[in-house]
Copies of this chain bind each other. A is one copy, B any other.
Amino acid sequence: MKKRIQKITPRFFRKISHKKGLPPGALVHVGEAKVEEVKLWLISFDEQSFSEKEVSFSDLSEGNQNISWVNINGLHDTSAIKEIGNVYDLHPLVLEDIVNTAHRPKIEFFENYIYLVIKMLSYEPERGLISEQVSFVCGSNYVLSFQEREGDVFEGIRERLRKGTTKIRSKGADYLFYALVDAVVDHYFAVLEGLGERLEQLEEDVDFRPDEKVGNLLYDLRRNVLFVRKSILPVRELLGHLEREESKLVSGDLKPYWRDIYDHVIQITDGVEALRELTSSIREMLMTQLSNRMNNVMKVLTIIATIFIPITFLAGVYGMNFKHMPELEWTYGYLVIWIVFVGMTLGLILFFRKKKWL
């Protein structure tokens, strides 16, 4: 029994308990400490103009005519986050939630902005399930996106922004916000497909080689599915909120678009439930296969033992050294005993045939 090569399940429980004892609103980064610097990438655009550059904190200011999208990579530097919070006048509890990377997906509506935290998931066959927390702050003319590390699912959106004539350039910050959430949610489909394919592959393995490697892999995939479920379930509810909530920050003609994301999330949760049922079904089939195998092994053993044990006994009998054993003296004794051996064997084979063991 060798160690599984790769632990593909993200940890369910991050260390967030070192926060206890601190006052509410204290910024504590929950996650692995990193040394890289926090990076800010500012995209500023309206229908005519477009600019894209790395900026520092001092370059940020809320009062801007253009729509601006500030992407922040890295949440470990709490003082940097606090500075951003000051610029955009964010509530201390919001900042606390942003740096707590173990947060449950949720949405909150404030006077001047909407705060949304969500999981960005991706699945790569060789690396497994990767989960990162993204927080969005959507104001009247800006969107902030906070990521744990570099690399995201927003490249398509950047492309569309760079092109001058796309719809996204002519719409407001709320449409950008929608587009970003849409990109995250669309990526969930890829995760489902990745897990689904791996499970269907496993299905074949259960059929042909039901051993502990399969059991372990199934276990890991099940944990993956449960992790995805835990990440996606609250999203449904929070998008429901977003649809119902009347906020001046979300224009009415975006409603069908949010409704569309909501439909996708329902479809995804359906898919996750289907995957969950699939892992259960596969596990049940694995158990059935193991029982079947055991039955087959036992049958072979029983057949062999049942055929040979009696005739071995007989051979033992005629190996005894009693003085007076008339059979031993017979001319055809040895022949007769072979006939008996063969006869008993055939008889037992017929018996097993009748019992459908052969």
Contact = CB atoms under 8 A, between A and B. Distances in A.
Nearest to A292: B212
Contacts of A290: 288, 291-292, 295
Interface residues of A, number: 118
Interface stretch (A71-79, A137-145, A322-330): A322-330
Nearest to A326: B334
A103 B189 CA distance: 12
Interface string A217-229: 0010011001000
Chain copies in the assembly?
Answer: 5
B230 A270 contact: yes
A57 interface: no
A312 B315 CA distance: 9
A354 B293 CA distance: 14
A280 to B, nearest CB: 9
A211 to B, nearest CB: 7
A306 to B, nearest CB: 5
Contact of A23 (B166, B263, B266, B334): B166
A103 B283 CA distance: 28
A209 B324 contact: no
B322 A337 contact: yes
Nearest to A278: B12
Contact of A316 (B16, B299, B312, B330): B312
Contacts of A357: 297
A302 interface: yes
Given A20-B187, A337-B320, A13 B215 contact: no
B294 A298 contact: yes
B211 A292 contact: yes
A193 B18 CA distance: 11
A91 B256 contact: yes
A107 to B, nearest CB: 11
Given A160-B23, A182-B24, A297-B295, A319 B308 contact: no
Interface of A: 1, 3-4, 11-13, 15-17, 19-24, 91, 93, 102-104, 106, 153, 155-156, 159-160, 166-168, 179, 182-183, 186-187, 189-190, 192-193, 196-197, 200, 207-209, 211-212, 215-216, 219, 222-223, 226, 230, 256-257, 260, 263, 266-267, 270-271, 274-275, 277-278, 281, 283-295, 297-302, 304-306, 308-313, 315-334, 337, 341, 356-357
The 5 closest A-B pairs by CB, nearest first: A21-B156, A315-B316, A17-B190, A13-B196, A318-B320
